[in-house]
């Protein structure tokens, strides 16, 4: 291979990927002055990565095989746009040696290692054999060529149960089975082989000792084409579900500085064994004390931002410089570890329904600003559609701080301040993870999420006094904002200082739970809320995304969104989903409570339903108002005779204005 053809300066980069990683790569490439070319499938015409790039090429139908995995069409897209280099991102073709080779043969720079390096490290068995020779510690096991039942059974017996049966070609946790006794072995091998054959077209198996209370620790490495190789510290990715990472952090809170140096040295040795060029990750499994090599990933990883945040290095920039043929800009001793970073993967999935992916249009996409140590790598925007064709990861939220505790705190706050609607996301689940005491104290292993699933996916907690008051405040705040927003609004002077003291009743519930009532007293004098026996002084100040709520002199910020009668609140106690029981929607037994039949809010009279002089039962409809595009029917507060109706259809009425008079009958 001609090295000057492999790595050389280029001006136009094609990104053979989609979603957040395509967006992430485009950002750095543009900052380096490169022209960027996106590729997309028919399902991704309006996707964010397409909008971000300078040019975009349609590859074909939604199915990955016809688009993002189609080598021919990708090479053709590069040719059409004059792209000179290809960044594969992660997933899709990023670890496909044939694709790297095809790029090379088409005269394109492949931003990554050569096909030979990928082939050497691509199979778990092959790489383990290599590592064994290089003296890198391995999990005890068998990674030979012979694959007959007797050989595998003998190897398992020798290693000692529990063991792990693993597909040599595996990835994403597929083709992997834990086997705890000899009689489980046969069936486990059969099913792992079947899965591996289907997923990778290769059913060779290896056998490993199953490390107890396993932790996942990996080292970021990067090599240039001039023989320099650096390690950029380690990440810990022990919080996994079905062997897939959910939360990642750097550095590992499990290792002490001596252990850190040991694992980083082992990683450099591993990558050095293949004279590795490009960014890569050496993965280890650890029992908390020692680390054992499991595999190498010859690409950028999803979780690379935590490394960037603790080293201050832009890994994509370094990948591109290496691809230019440049030497790495720093020496090993110049790479400093600063603080702690934690990343959470935000998925369109439903943790309470066995993590079923959720597809549809993102109606609301509100994530916090990237300030105060928070970074967000997103691949979606408001209005985008999550299609069923690809991985359901929407974004990554990453927090940095001087210490682990504060980084976790920042990440959790970021999660709690996020509001994504239209699809179901795992954000509450991620938040539950970040606040779990065992996560805080790092008392975890890779089985933690599965064991704690019930706790981590439990429903929204019951609202307390603060949340009920916040719910009323959210409704009022929303009504005020709408009234103010309405141009030429007939009730522009709508305010909260009408003459006299008045009441308004609210009821809320969580799921199918009992209704909880709150009464608002307002008008002249300070507003108060009454819950049961308690009366609390109450005030609200609107803020972006919510309001400040002052209750009995204590102010706290509340994030709130109202969607019809559904309220989503975040208070200092967490996230709450409440249903506002509509007093006019026949959901409630509630009566108006007042003697007067008055407009509860500014509105338009759309129907008069009773005649003057009529005798009415308690609850009989008198007239209908349209308020905030919703009809509300005013009913008789008690049985009586309707003395007069003081309005007609079409009238615009102010809040509190008396609309009808009823005289109570008998008693
Ligand atoms: P894949 O390539 O499918 O992701 P890996 O070999 O990287 O498979 O393993 C995935 C996860 O499984 C690891 O992160 C680790 O948590 C766990 N694991 C792998 N090997 C072992 C082992 N020998 N003992 C215990 N856990 C392991």
Please report, to the nearest 10 degrees, the dihedral formed by the alpha carbons of residues 247, 251, 252, 258 taken in order.
170
The CATH code belonging to domain 597-664 is: 2.40.50.100
Residues ≥6 apart with Cβ < 8 Å to 236: 215, 216, 217, 248, 249, 250, 251, 252, 253, 254
Burial (Cβ within 10 Å: 0-12, 13-18, ≥19) of residue 465: middle
Compute the average pLDDT of residues 562-583: 83
Kindly report the average pLDDT of the chain as a whole number: 90
Given 299, 345, 504, 570, which residue is catalytic? 299
Please report, to the nearest 10 degrees, the dihedral formed by the alpha carbons of residues 431, 433, 439, 444 taken in order.
-160
pLDDT score, position 492: 39
pLDDT score, position 575: 79
pLDDT score, position 379: 97
303 lines ligand 1 (CB under 6 A): no
> 598-627 in b/e burial notation, b at 16+ Cβ within 10 A?
bbbbbbbbbebebeeeeebeeebebbbbeb
pLDDT band of 666, cuts 50, 70, 90: low
Q: What is the largest distance, in Å, between two alpha-carbon atoms of the chain?
A: 104
Name, of 120-134, 241-255, 567-581, the range with top average pLDDT.
Answer: 241-255
Burial (Cβ within 10 Å: 0-12, 13-18, ≥19) of residue 289: exposed
Superfamily of the domain at 215-456 = ATP-grasp fold, B domain (3.30.470.20)
The CATH code belonging to domain 141-209 is: 3.30.1490.20
The answer to whether domain 465-484+491-580 has CATH 3.40.640.10 is no
pLDDT score, position 632: 76
pLDDT band of 493, cuts 50, 70, 90: very low
Looking at 2.102.10.10, 3.40.630.30, 3.40.50.20, 3.40.1210.10, the CATH number of the domain 3-111 comes to 3.40.50.20
Residues ≥6 apart with Cβ < 8 Å to 334: none
Residue 631 CA, ligand 1 centroid: distance in Å? 58
Task: Report the candidate in 619, 665, 609 with the shortest Cα–Cα distance to residue 641.
Answer: 665
306 lines ligand 1 (CB under 6 A): no
Asked if residue 208 has pLDDT above 80, the reply is yes
Domain ranges of the chain: 3-111, 141-209, 215-456, 465-484+491-580, 597-664
Compute the average pLDDT of residues 542-566: 88
Cβ-contact 86, 104 below 8 angstroms: no
pLDDT score, position 157: 95
Q: Pick from 285, 290, 303 the residue to mutate for probing ligand 1's pocket: most ligand atoms within 8 Å of its CB.
A: 285
281 lines ligand 1 (CB under 6 A): no
pLDDT band of 20, cuts 50, 70, 90: very high
Asked if residue 512 has pLDDT above 50, the reply is yes
> 51-66 in b/e burial notation, b at 16+ Cβ within 10 A?
ebbebbbebbebebee
Q: How far apart are CA 371 and CA 316, in angstroms?
A: 21
Compute the average pLDDT of residues 517-530: 87
Q: How far apart are CA 62 and CA 388, in angstroms?
A: 9
Cα 110–chain centre separation: 30
Q: How far apart are CA 173 and CA 284, in angstroms?
A: 14
Count of helices and strands (H, E) across the chain: 18, 39
> 202-237 in b/e burial notation, b at 16+ Cβ within 10 A?
ebbbbbbbbbeebbbbbbbbbbbbeebbbbbbbbbb
pLDDT band of 499, cuts 50, 70, 90: low
Q: Pick from 161, 171, 176, 286 the residue to mutate for probing ligand 1's pocket: most ligand atoms within 8 Å of its CB.
A: 176
Determine whether 299 is an active site residue.
Answer: yes
Compute the average pLDDT of residues 565-571: 86
Q: How far apart are CA 113 and CA 108, in angstroms?
A: 13
Q: What angle do CA 356, 357, 361 make, to 5 degrees?
A: 140
Rounded to two decimals, the pTM is 0.79
């Amino acid at each position: 291979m001609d090295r000057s053809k492999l790595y050389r300066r280029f001006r136009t980069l094609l990104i053979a990927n989609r979603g957040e990683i395509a967006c992430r790569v485009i950002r750095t490439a543009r900052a380096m002055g490169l022209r960027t070319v996106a590729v997309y499938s028919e399902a991704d015409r309006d996707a964010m990565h397409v909008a971000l790039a300078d040019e975009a090429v349609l590859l074909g139908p939604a199915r990955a095989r016809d688009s993002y995995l189609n080598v021919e069409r990708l090479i053709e897209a590069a040719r059409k746009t004059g792209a000179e280099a290809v960044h594969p991102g992660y997933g899709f073709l990023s670890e496909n040696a044939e694709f790297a080779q095809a790029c090379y043969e088409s005269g394109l720079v492949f931003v990554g290692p050569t096909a030979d390096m990928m082939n050497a490290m691509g199979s778990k068995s092959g790489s383990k054999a290599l590592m064994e020779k290089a003296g890198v510690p391995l999990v005890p096991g068998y990674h030979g060529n012979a694959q007959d039942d007797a050989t595998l059974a003998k190897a398992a017996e020798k290693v000692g149960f529990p063991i792990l049966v693993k597909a040599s070609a595996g990835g994403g946790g597929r083709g992997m089975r834990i086997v705890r006794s000899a009689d489980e072995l046969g069936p486990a091998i059969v099913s792992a082989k079947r899965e591996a054959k289907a997923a990778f077209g290769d059913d060779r198996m290896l056998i490993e000792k199953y490390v107890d209370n396993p932790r996942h620790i990996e080292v970021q490495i990067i090599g240039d084409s001039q023989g320099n190789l650096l390690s950029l510290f380690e990440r810990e990715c022990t919080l996994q579900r079905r062997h897939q990472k959910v939360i990642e952090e750097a550095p590992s809170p499990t290792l002490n500085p001596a252990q850190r140096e040991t694992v980083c040295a082992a990683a450099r040795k591993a990558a050095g064994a293949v004279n590795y060029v490009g960014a890569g990750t050496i993965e280890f499994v650890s029992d908390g004390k020692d680390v054992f090599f499991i595999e190498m990933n010859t690409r950028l990883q999803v979780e690379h931002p935590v490394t960037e945040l603790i080293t201050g290095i832009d890994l994509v920039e370094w990948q591109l410089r290496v691809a230019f043929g440049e030497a790495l800009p720093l020496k090993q001793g110049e790479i400093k570890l600063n603080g702690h970073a934690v990343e959470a993967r935000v998925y369109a999935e439903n943790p309470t329904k066995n993590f079923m992916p959720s597809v549809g249009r993102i109606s609301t996409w509100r994530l916090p600003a990237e300030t105060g140590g928070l970074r967000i790598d997103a691949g979606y925007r408001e209005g985008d559609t999550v299609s069923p064709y690809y991985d359901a990861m929407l974004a990554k939220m990453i927090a940095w701080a001087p210490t682990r505790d504060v980084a976790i705190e920042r990440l959790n706050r970021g999660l709690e301040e996020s509001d994504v609607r239209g699809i179901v996301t795992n954000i509450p689940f991620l938040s539950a993870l970040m606040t779990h005491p065992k996560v805080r104290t790092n008392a975890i292993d890779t089985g933690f999420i599965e064991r704690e699933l019930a706790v981590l996916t439990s429903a929204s907690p019951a609202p307390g006094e603060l949340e009920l008051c916040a719910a009323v405040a959210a409704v009022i705040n929303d009504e005020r904002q709408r009234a103010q927003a309405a141009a030429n609004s007939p009730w522009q002077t709508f305010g909260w200082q009408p003459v006299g003291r008045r009441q308004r009743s609210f009821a809320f519930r969580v799921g199918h739970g009992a209704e909880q009532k709150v009464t608002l007293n307002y008008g002249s004098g300070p507003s108060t809320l009454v819950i049961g026996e308690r009366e609390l002084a109450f005030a609200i100040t609107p803020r972006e995304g919510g309001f400040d709520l002052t209750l009995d002199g204590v102010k706290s910020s509340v994030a709130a969104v109202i969607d019809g009668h559904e309220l989503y609140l975040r208070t200092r106690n967490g996230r709450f989903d409440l249903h506002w029981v509509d007093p006019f929607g026949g959901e409630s037994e509630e009566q108006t409570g007042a003697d007067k039949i008055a407009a509860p809010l500014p509105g338009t009279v759309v129907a008069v339903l009773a005649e003057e002089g009529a005798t009415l039962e308690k609850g009989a409809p008198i007239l209908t108002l349209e308020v905030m595009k919703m009809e509300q029917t005013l009913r008789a507060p008690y049985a009586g005779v309707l003395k007069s109706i003081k309005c007609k259809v079409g009238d615009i009425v102010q809040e509190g204005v008396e609309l009808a008079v009823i005289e109570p009958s008998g008693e």
